[in-house]
Amino acid sequence: MRYLVISDIHANLEAFEAVMAAAQPLKYDKVLLLGDLVGYGADPNAICDLVRQMKPDALIRGNHDKVGSGVESPEGFNAVARNAIKWTCDTLTRDNREWLAALPAGPLIVDDLIEICHGTPFDEDAYVFDDLDALRAMHAARRPLCLFGHTHVQVGHYLSRDQFGLATADDERPLTITLDDANRYLVNPGSVGQPRDGDPRAGFGMVDTARRDMTIYRVEYPIPKAQARILEEGLPEVLAQRLALGR
């Protein structure tokens, strides 16, 4: 079984199209989507429509999906995120808003190997920023490979009997992580639509359960086009600028 793993699309249509085009020749059987379809970007309806057509095999909500669909208030969002999510809420069709509002919360068990969550398995909105967060998330996970999003940083942690470390220290992409049966893994495939790890390219992942490995990829997309769309819709300029920086 091969799973395409995508997260944090954030209404960036250009990035999403580039990821789907890059993933297609790699061949996959199922799609796992880790939340935050909308928020920040200029095409929330187009993304909802495409994801609904795609029918992911596992799909959970992110914090922006909750606020953008009115499930939660934007309390806790900074001024820029709040501005964008209000615009998102006003722009979504009623049908898409209701569909987003009904998305399930993570964590979700996919199979014997994989569990998915937006933030962490113990709290869908919590961030994995440091080693302590990663260890806590790994201990809460009920499957050896826990896939998460939310931070927009493409990273993999592993935990063996006597060691805890990074499975993704190398900057080269694509990068394949071999999944040792004795270890646990916590992997973020990166953000499709708003990377924040200094690499502006869109991120995604592919798990091969037969080969017992996960590969993470980065793919170029037309950033100026996504930026122009953000400005065209009157969204905060900083949201366009950050796409070029990957921050």
Residues that bind Zn ion (CB under 5 A): 8, 36
Nearer to Zn ion by Cβ, of 113 and 155: the residue is 155
Q: Which residue lies nearer to Zn ion by CB, 137 or 159? A: 137
| Closest residue to Zn ion using C-beta atoms | 36
In the bound complex, what is the minimum distance in angstroms from residue 10's beta carbon to Zn ion? 6
Buried b or exposed e, range 237-246, using 16+ CB within 10 angstroms? eebbebbeeb
Min dist CB 195 to Zn ion, Å, is 11
- From the CB of 81, what's the least distance to Zn ion, in Å? 10
Asked whether the CA dihedral 211, 214, 220, 222 is positive or negative, the reply is: positive
If the CB atoms of residues 8 and 124 are measured against Zn ion, the closer one turns out to be 8
Whichever of 9 and 179 has its CB closer to Zn ion, that residue is: 9
Among residues 113 and 186, whose Cβ is nearest to Zn ion? 186
- What is the nearest approach in angstroms of Zn ion to the Cβ of residue 150? 6
CB 174 within 8 A of CB 219: no
Percent helix, strand, coil in the chain, to 5, is 35, 20, 45
193 vs 15: CA distance, rounded Å: 6
Residue type, 32: L
- C-alpha distances (whole Å) from 18 to each of 13, 69, 156, 211, 223 are 9, 26, 23, 26, 11
Residue-wise DSSP of 16-79: HHHHHHHHGGG--SEEEE-S--SSSSS-HHHHHHHHHHH--SEE---HHHHHHTTSS--TT--H
Task: Give the residues across from 205 on adjacent strands.
Answer: 5, 216
